[in-house]
Each structure stands twice: as C-alpha cells, then as structure tokens.
Amino acid sequence: MLSAGLAAAPAARAGAQLYEPLSDSVRVALAAALRDRSPPEPRFASTMEKVDWLAEMAERLPARHKPTHAERIEFLQMVRYEAQRAGLDPQLVLGLIQVESGFRRHAISSAGARGYMQVMPFWTRLIGDGEPSGLFDARTNLRYGCVILRHYLDMERGDLYRALGRYNGSLGRPEYPNMVQAAWKRWAYEPGPRLQQVSAPAAAGPSLPR
C-alpha cells in the first residue's frame, strides 16, 4: 500500500538554501508574497474533486506525524492553497516535503533549515519579520517554502531540475532533484472510481488546470 511506503520514507534529506543577494525589487516582491493571510481555501474543479483529492492524499500521509483525520485535512488544505498561490503543483510540494522533512513540523537539519519545507532562517531576515521561530508555524513555513521555490523557478526560467538544486543548495548535482521528482510521481493524483464515472462525459473536453 502506498501510504505504508511513504510512512517508511527517510526522516529528512534537507540541504541548505544558499544566501544570495537580492535586488530591491525582488526582495520587495517576495516580502509582499508572504504577507497575505486570507483563509487557506484551495481551488478544486468541483466539490466532488475536493472530497476525492483530500481523501486520497489523507490516506498517504504518515500517521505518526498526522494522527487524526482533521489534522490531515487541515494540513492538506494549507499545502494545496499555498502551492496554488505560488503557481506550483500541490503534489510536487507534497513530494518535496516528504524528502525534506518526512512531514515533521519541527524538523531541523544539520544546516539549520527548519520545518516542513526546511526553510533557512536567513530568509526571515531577507523578506520576513526576522523571527526564525515562526518557521515552525505550519502555514508560515509552507508559505516561505512555496514562495522560495517559485523564486528559484523564475530565476531558472522554469527549469525545475535547477530550481530544486537551488532549493536544496546542491545546484548541479542530480541526487536531490531526482529524489523530489520521484516522490512527486508517488504523490500523483488519480481520481477515484466515482469521480471518474461522473467526469466521463466531459473526458473529451479540455482538462482543467490543477
């Protein structure tokens, strides 16, 4: 069963995002991207897709870090919202979290990276409030992580391989990008039988972006 495989994943494989001077315009834009605190309501094509996606993803999360169904749903809604807000695939972000922290909210790497997405504290000084302890707040950590990955993707003109290398501080080496992309595939979403049945008449039409 897939959830068992995810539960057995390594605890963390975090590296360290490297400090690079930012232009004033980039710094201001990234800081602005952090500030919005509207309710984390992710987008779904339908109510049925919402129920199906949350149910399937909740089954895959390791129970030792998210023991209750309510905790899983709350976490998944935050992940999907923050990923969509940054223009990222939510399943990619779940794969990155799996590799980076093994879904441990209070994970700290040997390099000092913190939380689910293993964000380096210097980012709080560059574009945040200067309080590294805030990186243990679930939504704050997800917001930073998604904003930073989006920044690296823009730097690399959409090259995910290189953007992931920058995220991990291992640009040019294949191990980390390959691990995240493999994890991303394991989090791929396939609609459940009921949703497939309901969606079948529209199958020939254009697909909605996720």
In-domain check, residue 202: no
- What mean pLDDT do residues 77-91 have? 97
CA dihedral 115, 6, 15, 159 (to 10 degrees): -110
Residue numbers annotated as active site = 100
- Report the pLDDT value the prediction gives residue 208, as an integer from 0 to 100: 39
Q: Per-residue pLDDT for 54 more than 60?
A: yes
Q: Per-residue pLDDT for 204 more than 50?
A: no
Our measurement of the distance from residue 175's CA atom to the centroid of its chain's CA atoms, rounded to an integer in Å, reads 19
Mean pLDDT for all residues in the chain: 86
In-domain check, residue 205: no
Q: Rounded to the nearest 5 degrees, what angle is found at the Cα of 44, between the Cα atoms of 72 and 181?
A: 65
- Report the pLDDT value the prediction gives residue 197, as an integer from 0 to 100: 59
Q: Per-residue pLDDT for 42 more than 90?
A: yes
In-domain check, residue 117: yes
Lowest mean pLDDT among 24-33, 109-118, 170-179: 24-33
Q: Are 125 and 133 in contact (CB under 8 A)?
A: no
Q: Per-residue pLDDT for 9 more than 50?
A: no
- Report the pLDDT value the prediction gives residue 8, as an integer from 0 to 100: 39
Nearest one of 77, 65, 88, 52 to 184, comparing CA atoms: 88
Q: Per-residue pLDDT for 11 more than 60?
A: no
Buried b (16+ CB within 10 A) or exposed e, 4-37: eebbebeebbbbbbeeeeeeeeeeeebeebbeee
3-class secondary-structure state, position 67: coil
Number of domains, the chain = 1
Q: Per-residue pLDDT for 196 more than 80?
A: no
In-domain check, residue 201: no
- Report the pLDDT value the prediction gives residue 25, as an integer from 0 to 100: 86
Domain enclosing residue 125, as ranges = 2-191
In-domain check, residue 204: no
Token couple for 154: 């823009």
Nearest one of 36, 168, 39 to 95, comparing CA atoms: 168
Q: What is the CATH number of the domain that holds 148?
A: 1.10.530.10
In-domain check, residue 83: yes
Long-range contact set of residues 150-154: C-beta below 8 Å, sequence gap at least 24: 150/33, 150/86, 150/87, 150/88, 151/26, 151/30, 153/88
- Report the pLDDT value the prediction gives residue 12, as an integer from 0 to 100: 45
The partner residues of 108 in beta bridges, in order of sequence, read: 114
In-domain check, residue 105: yes
- What mean pLDDT do residues 169-183 have? 96
Token couple for 34: 């952090």
Q: Per-residue pLDDT for 83 more than 70?
A: yes
- Report the pLDDT value the prediction gives residue 33, as an integer from 0 to 100: 84
Residue whose token pair is 């972006």: 209
Model confidence, pTM: 0.83
- Report the pLDDT value the prediction gives residue 191, as an integer from 0 to 100: 86
Q: What is the pLDDT of residues 115-151, one digit of tens each?
A: 999 999 999 999 999 999 999 999 999 999 999 999 9
- What mean pLDDT do residues 179-183 have? 98
